[in-house]
Structure 1
Amino acid sequence: MNCLLRWPEPVVRVQSLSESGISAIPARYIKPPSDRPSRNNTAATPTTKNFEATPINIPIINLQNLFSDDQSLCEETLGLISQACREWGFFQVVNHGVSHELMRRVREVWREFFHLPIEAKQEYANSPSTYEGYGSRLGVEKGAILDWSDYFFLHYMPQSLRNENKWPALPPSCRKLIGEYGEEVVKLCGRLMKVLSINLGLGEEYLQNAFGGDNIGACLRVNFYPKCPQPDLTLGLSPHSDPGGLTLLLPDENVSGLQVRKSNEWVTVDPAPNAFIVVSNAIYKSVDHRVIVNAAKDRVSLALFYNPKSDLLIEPAKELVTEDRPALYPPMTFDEYRLYIRTKGPCGKAQVESLKSPR
């Protein structure tokens, strides 16, 4: 744990670099040629001044049909979610029950936070031991190639880990909106967990109970991707798969940036109006995704991670393990896994693959 007490090098705020007027990004943000967004991406066309892939849509699912009196509509929606989880590992949901006005306000208040003077934000500077607070890098590997982004990370659940004094006091409405938004999206995640349990042939409450019942973990990471003078050379967030059980992403409504890997190609998600993007895990695909950046516009997105209780042993449901489909990984608590992946930051599937049980 000692290796996670401090960052290995002085932290540079990417937003400060962006606003300094540089025309070329520092070498430590330049990705190897094979990892740059202009490669292996048939949906993208880079230009010298700007890079913005042509967006295509992942599945969009209307959750209103889940509560329809028409049983066939409900079953059709369950089937669409199951198919999206198995084929994509990603889908968008509309008519999800979260206020569109709340979604707009929470996104804007965070945009205001990132445009505060650096001194106001530095009060919340984070460390790699918990990541909680204002940050600009992931992982503690010295000399690592960094991503073109800043972020704010906070704990929302369980209540014992929630410390509102660590949430931004400015803008004045920020803490109140974080609380309201967190409550609503955690409820939505709970509804989605029931759907996933049903689709896996388990009891409706199985996954929720396996995650700790009312003592689940929930963390919020707000991502800020500043304008970048050379967006074809770097990434806002390197390829990774999320470590928790479910991720609910509120994307920027004006600028596309999220990419998912589909059949070994990177495709850019076109966010539907007032939609959340859902990232699944388990039998369902845990898909590599990354973020590209933009020369003309910055981006803000909010990722709510719905996680197992930190000290619970994570292993497959016994009902889903067979001789032909054995457990792929040894049991491990979420805290143990989270500590493991924090040492190097995002690096595709390499970390989780290294944990596979010998076959």
Structure 2
Amino acid sequence: MEEVQSVQALATKLGALPPEYVRSEHERPGVTTFREGDAPEIPVIDMAAPGFVARMAEAAAEWGLFQVVNHGVPGAAVAELQRVGREFFALPQEEKERYAMDLASGKFEGYGSSLKPDHGGKKPWADFFFHNVAPPTMVDHDIWPKNPTDYREANEEYCRHMQRLTRELFGYLSAALGLEEGAMFEAFGGDDMLFLQKINYYPPCPEPELTLGVSPHTDMSTLTVLVPNEVQGLQVFKDSHWYDAKYVPDALVIHIGDQIEILSNGRYKAVLHRTTVSKEKTRMSWPVFVEPPMEHVVGPHPQLVTDESPAKYKAMKYKDYRHCKINKPPTM
């Protein structure tokens, strides 16, 4: 296993931010965040309200991100997911290290900090733990924490709700494009889609106005479903500004990823987002990334390609898309 340069451990020793975490002025959240009182609100969509599908499609097209309430995921399942995640990160460092990522063997699941500095040479102020939760053929329970003892039970229960909810979301977003409700689900690999559970851990930072928890990026996935804690941090880029995605109790945050933008031929937009950190409080989030199988080909849906709207994206295997994206710095 590789040694983890833990930000959580580093944060207990610092009075000032090390230079490898200090962002250039044009990236710093204290300078670039839109703070005026009339900032537009990121959509919060009640899935029990009439007309919510149209609102969801509009948000996917304009923001690439929205929050959902009355989504059918039990609060108890969310609370258990958060509890076991908090308990894992409260373990002694040497115990967390038992689950460290083993990059030398090509395994990218496990506990770690930044894989590498971003394109600007800066490190994010975050640790993480991630692993596959579905389908069963892609799950390695040896990577999952044994402590807390009910970690597996909580994650498997939550994953069952994610599989149901994401299939519903694919159906709504498909229908709003004029496609069959099952179009996205099938186009992304159906029951073979990969569900990747991640825990992001952003400890208190001595100079939060100078750094970021996560650099600006869009998700490679089809979509991402995220549970935040109550500490503000997620920001969305729209119309040349960064906006806070305000915490909404009991809401799930839905990110449109690159694969939905590709399949929709650009009608839905993958959201450019980043994460800020706090001086006094720990921020945590629990995203689930839903990805096509590696050998699966994704491209614009044939029904959305016409003479008036030609294909804007090249169809390719998801593994090839990942390779291109990982090796190409993001642009804004």
TM-score normalised by length of structure 2: 0.91
Whether the 8 Å contact between 2:69 and 2:252 is mirrored in structure 1 is: yes
Whether the 8 Å contact between 2:21 and 2:211 is mirrored in structure 1 is: yes
Q: Does 1:274 align with 2:274?
A: no
Letter in 2 for 1:19: T
Question: 2:279 is matched with which residue: 282, 295, 298?
Answer: 295
Whether the 8 Å contact between 1:24 and 1:229 is mirrored in structure 2 is: yes
Q: Which ranges of structure 2 fall in alignment gaps of 5 or more residues?
A: 262-266
Question: 2:64 is matched with which residue: 73, 84, 89?
Answer: 89
Q: Deviations over 1:179-225 (max 9, x none)?
A: 11111112111110100110111111111011111111111111000
Taking a change above 3 Å as real, the CA distance of residues 187 and 338 of structure 1, as seen in their structure-2 partners, is same
- 2:210 matched residue in structure 1: 233
Taking a change above 3 Å as real, the CA distance of residues 28 and 11 of structure 1, as seen in their structure-2 partners, is farther
5 Å-filtered alignment, 1:23-38, equals 23-38=15-30
Q: Deviations over 1:28-76 (max 9, x none)?
A: 11111111112222228xxxxxxxx9997411111123xxxxxxx2xx1
- 1:110 matched residue in structure 2: 85
- 1:156 matched residue in structure 2: 133
* Distance (Å, rounded) in 1 between the aligned partners of 2:144 and 2:39: 33
Taking a change above 3 Å as real, the CA distance of residues 189 and 237 of structure 1, as seen in their structure-2 partners, is same
The two structures, once aligned, show a CA RMSD in angstroms of 2.2
Taking a change above 3 Å as real, the CA distance of residues 195 and 143 of structure 1, as seen in their structure-2 partners, is closer
Letter in 2 for 1:229: P
* Distance (Å, rounded) in 2 between the aligned partners of 1:151 and 1:57: 29
Whether the 8 Å contact between 2:4 and 2:100 is mirrored in structure 1 is: no
Letter in 1 for 2:187: A
SS at 2:77 equivalent: helix
* Distance (Å, rounded) in 1 between the aligned partners of 2:39 and 2:79: 22
Whether the 8 Å contact between 2:117 and 2:123 is mirrored in structure 1 is: no
Q: Which moved more, 1:140-149 or 1:267-276?
A: 140-149
Post-superposition shift, 1:342? 3.4
Post-superposition shift, 1:348? 3.7
Q: Which ranges of structure 1 fall in alignment gaps of 5 or more residues?
A: 1-5, 45-52, 66-72, 351-359
* Distance (Å, rounded) in 2 between the aligned partners of 1:143 and 1:269: 25
- 1:355 matched residue in structure 2: none
Question: 1:134 is matched with which residue: 111, 129, 153?
Answer: 111
* Distance (Å, rounded) in 2 between the aligned partners of 1:125 and 1:143: 25
Q: Relative contact order (alpha carbons < 8 A, sep ≥ 6): 1 or 2 greater?
A: 1
Q: Does 1:212 align with 2:212?
A: no
* Distance (Å, rounded) in 1 between the aligned partners of 2:28 and 2:280: 18
Letter in 2 for 1:32: S
SS at 1:38 equivalent: helix
Taking a change above 3 Å as real, the CA distance of residues 148 and 326 of structure 1, as seen in their structure-2 partners, is same
5 Å-filtered alignment, 1:22-101, equals 22-43=14-35, 57-65=41-49, 73=50, 76-101=51-76
TM-score normalised by length of structure 1: 0.84
Q: Deviations over 1:243-264 (max 9, x none)?
A: 0111101111x21100001211
Taking a change above 3 Å as real, the CA distance of residues 286 and 130 of structure 1, as seen in their structure-2 partners, is farther
Question: 1:179 is matched with which residue: 128, 152, 156?
Answer: 156
Identity percentage of aligned residues: 36
* Distance (Å, rounded) in 2 between the aligned partners of 1:183 and 1:23: 43
* Distance (Å, rounded) in 1 between the aligned partners of 2:327 and 2:87: 31
Whether the 8 Å contact between 2:45 and 2:67 is mirrored in structure 1 is: yes
Whether the 8 Å contact between 2:202 and 2:277 is mirrored in structure 1 is: yes
Taking a change above 3 Å as real, the CA distance of residues 55 and 259 of structure 1, as seen in their structure-2 partners, is farther
Post-superposition shift, 1:268? 0.6
* Distance (Å, rounded) in 2 between the aligned partners of 1:133 and 1:331: 31
* Distance (Å, rounded) in 2 between the aligned partners of 1:303 and 1:55: 26
- 2:11 matched residue in structure 1: 18
Letter in 1 for 2:192: N
Whether the 8 Å contact between 2:34 and 2:242 is mirrored in structure 1 is: yes
Q: Does 1:326 align with 2:302?
A: no
